[in-house]
C-alpha cells in the first residue's frame, strides 16, 4: 500500500490537501498511537482484519435500526446493482457478535444500529473508525428509518432538513466528563436536494423535506398516551405536536441528532430518510396491516437505491 500512495496522489494532480480532505477524519489524537484498534461491537480489529482490503472501496453507507431490514436492503441493493453472485448467500461481516449486523455489497455497506441514540452512537464511533482505518474517501452516509409523521399521510417519506431536539433546536447535547457539550446537527443540503430530485423521478412516491425531531423515548418522550406511564392530557399532547409542526418538524424518531452531529464533526456527508408509519395528530398506535407497513419500510430503501444507481451511472 505504501508504494501505491505516491502514484495515487500523482493521478489526482498535486492537490494533496483536497485528497486529505476527502478522507474520513477521526477527531481523536490518541487513535494514531494505538498499536491495535479493536472495534469491539463489530467483532473486527485492525490487527486481525485487513480493513483497507475489506472496506477500502466503500462509497455509500446505509444504516437502519433493524437487523432484518438491513439484511433485506443488502439483498435488494445487490439485485439493483446487478452484481455477480447470489444475494441469498450474503454474509454478515459482524457474525462474531449480535449487537449489529453488517453486509457489504460492492461499494455499499449496510449496517443495523438498534434503537435510540446510545445504540447508534456506539455503532457510529466504530463505523467512523473503520472508514478511517480502511482509508475510505468520498463516503456518503444514509440513515434509512421509520418514524411517526406530524401532519403527514402514512407512507410519506421525509428527507431531513435539520435534525432537532425536544425543544426543536438543531443541536445534540452530549455529556462528556460530567459536562454538557453541544454539537450542531446540520446535514448536507446537497445530498438532501439530490434525494428530493430522485424522489420526483419515482412513481407514486410522496416525499417532503422537513425537520426531524429526535427523542430519547418512544412513548412519553414522543407525547404518546398509550405507554405504561402517561403524565399529560390529550390536549397537552396535541399542543406539543402543533408547536413541533409550526417549527418545521414533520416527523419524530430516535437517532437523527447524534447521527447528524457525529457525521458533521468527522466531515462525512450524511442524510436521514425516514418513512412516516402514521400521522401522530390522528393517533399513537401503529395500526396499518403488516403488508402495508412492509411496503412503507421499503420506500427509503428504494429512494436511496435510486440515488446510488444514479451516482454510479446505472441510470442516466
Judge whether 135 is annotated as a binding position.
Answer: no
Judge whether 224 is annotated as a binding position.
Answer: yes
Judge whether 69 is annotated as a binding position.
Answer: no
Judge whether 64 is annotated as a binding position.
Answer: no
Judge whether 145 is annotated as a binding position.
Answer: yes
Q: Which of 315, 313, 309 is nearest to 108 (CA)?
A: 309
Judge whether 106 is annotated as a binding position.
Answer: no
Judge whether 280 is annotated as a binding position.
Answer: no
Binding residues are 99, 143-146, 222, 224
Binding residues for phosphate are 99, 143-146
Binding residues for substrate are 222, 224
Amino acid at each position: 500500500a505504501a508504494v501505491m500512495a505516491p502514484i495515487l496522489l500523482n493521478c489526482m494532480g498535486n492537490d494533496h490537501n483536497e485528497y486529505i480532505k476527502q478522507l474520513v477524519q477521526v477527531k481523536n489524537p490518541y487513535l494514531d498511537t494505538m498499536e491495535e484498534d479493536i472495534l469491539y461491537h463489530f467483532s473486527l480489529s485492525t490487527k486481525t482484519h485487513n480493513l483497507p482490503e475489506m472496506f477500502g472501496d466503500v462509497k455509500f453507507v446505509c444504516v437502519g435500526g433493524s437487523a432484518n431490514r438491513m439484511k433485506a436492503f443488502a439483498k435488494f441493493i445487490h439485485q439493483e446493482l446487478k452484481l455477480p453472485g447470489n444475494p441469498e448467500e450474503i454474509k454478515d461481516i459482524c457474525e462474531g457478535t449480535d449487537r449489529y449486523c453488517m453486509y457489504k455489497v460492492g461499494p455499499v455497506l449496510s449496517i443495523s444500529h438498534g434503537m435510540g441514540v446510545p445504540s447508534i452512537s456506539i455503532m457510529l464511533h466504530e463505523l467512523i473508525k473503520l472508514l478511517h482505518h480502511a482509508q475510505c474517501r468520498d463516503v456518503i452516509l444514509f440513515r434509512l428509518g421509520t418514524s411517526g409523521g406530524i401532519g403527514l399521510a402514512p407512507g410519506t417519506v421525509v428527507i431531513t432538513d435539520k435534525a432537532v431536539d425536544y425543544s426543536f433546536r438543531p443541536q445534540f447535547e452530549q455529556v462528556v466528563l460530567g459536562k454538557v457539550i453541544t454539537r450542531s446537527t446540520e446535514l448536507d443540503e446537497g445530498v438532501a436536494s439530490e434525494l428530493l430530485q430522485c424522489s420526483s423521478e419515482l412513481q407514486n412516491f410522496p416525499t417532503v423535506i422537513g425537520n426531524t425531531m429526535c427523542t430519547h423515548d418512544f412513548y412519553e418522550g414522543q407525547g404518546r398516551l398509550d405507554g405504561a406511564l402517561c403524565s399529560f392530557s390529550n390536549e397537552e399532547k396535541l399542543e406539543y405536536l402543533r408547536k413541533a409542526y409550526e417549527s418545521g418538524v414533520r416527523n419524530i424518531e430516535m437517532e437523527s441528532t447524534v447521527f447528524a452531529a457525529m457525521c458533521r464533526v468527522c466531515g462525512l456527508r450524511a442524510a436521514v430518510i425516514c418513512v412516516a408509519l402514521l400521522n401522530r395528530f390522528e393517533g399513537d398506535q401503529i395500526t396499518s396491516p403488516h403488508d402495508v407497513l412492509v411496503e412503507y419500510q421499503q420506500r427509503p430503501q428504494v429512494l436511496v437505491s435510486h440515488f446510488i444507481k444514479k451516482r454510479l451511472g446505472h441510470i442516466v
